[in-house]
Structure 1
Amino acid sequence: MKNRKNSSISQKLLPLGSHVVLAAVNLYCLIIYFTQVTDKNLLDFGYVAYITMLAQALIGLTKYLNDESFIDLRILLEYGQIVLPHPFLTTALWQKLSVGPNEIALLHCFFGLAAFLFFILMEYKRQDLTDLALITSITSSIIVGILYENYFATASGFLMAGSYFKLKRGEDVCTASPKTPTFAYYNLTMAAFSGVTLAQFEPKNWIPEF
């Protein structure tokens, strides 16, 4: 009986803790990206990724106060966390490494943004658009990482592929109960993803300098 009670408590705390971890990691990544990667240049696609994940983590905490509060915004940001971070970070990586024409680099953003805007306007998720956005950016990230010997980029591609296809690919991924271990595992995986993607940009320093 005691073991069952402890298990129940841990299942409730895990999703909550995963939001706290995701928020803390992305706040740190955002600060380092701003101060040590872009030299405080705000016109960079990478910000979209870290801000989206930070916002999802913070808004996600509201469900522990009231399940119905900000529910539409939570669903929107949950889907945004699926289709925006990796494509936008892949575009930023292409631009940093001068991989190819800027028009091709921007295609990653375009596919992710198209899927996100369709979700906003039509209020449902098209699996083909989601797959297109992620498969394109994941494949690109892995190949670029190998060619440029940036193995953090390759790792981020595999990490995103695993988290998406194992935990988030499905029609109800944004409306499923957020108080489940699977939901928590995804948040923790995305926290690890944030750290790995930051490493691919080779920050000048890992300590924030304002």
Structure 2
Amino acid sequence: MSMLLKKLFLLGIIFMSAGDLYGGNLISRQIEQNDSFYDAGTYFTSLSDLTIRLTDNNIYGDWNVAILNEKDEYVDIPFIITDYRHCVITPFDETIKKISRREAKKIYNESLNRDFFQLKVTYTASDKNKDEIYLKWGLVPSRPIISNVIFIANYCDWDWEYDMIYPYGDFSFDIYSENANYFNMYVSNDSVKFEVVHPRLSR
């Protein structure tokens, strides 16, 4: 192989490698939420918008956002484009709420005691180069933790035997669930008919 051909061959490899690198790094791995920036591998637990940006403002193309469902397939969800450089995903979109309740696959993180949804954000540039990132989004409240369970019995002096079978007293407990606004408690006096009560939440 002549020296000229070798140089052309090496230049071709360099250009192809640069093209692959450029094509695989279209989306910034720094995600904005609540005016702060986080790595894309972060588990996002705040109910706030996620803003995804491009690494180069001179790139033109199309965004796409999808959520993983129970069939391990990605379903497109709505997003907001403020301009071609930004993609915003909001948890308050009604379609996202509906899909997350009925179709989306929940991935449990034991250390965070939280179920997360997996998002796939894709950007396809006008030159057909494509990049995608995966995000973990905790839209649902964390699994509740019950603590400080206390039952203080109030015995009747005149019927101890009845009290042993049907104890009467004051029952209390604390419950914590991040991002929860309320919870339902089912109570019954006869173990058959239950009614729903809404305990007061302390902040």
What TM-score does the superposition give when structure 2 sets the normalisation length? 0.26
Which structure carries more relative contact order (alpha carbon 8 Å, separation 6+)?
1
Of Structure 1 and Structure 2, the greater strand share is in 2
Write 1 or 2 for the structure with the bigger share of helix.
1
TM-score (norm 1): 0.25
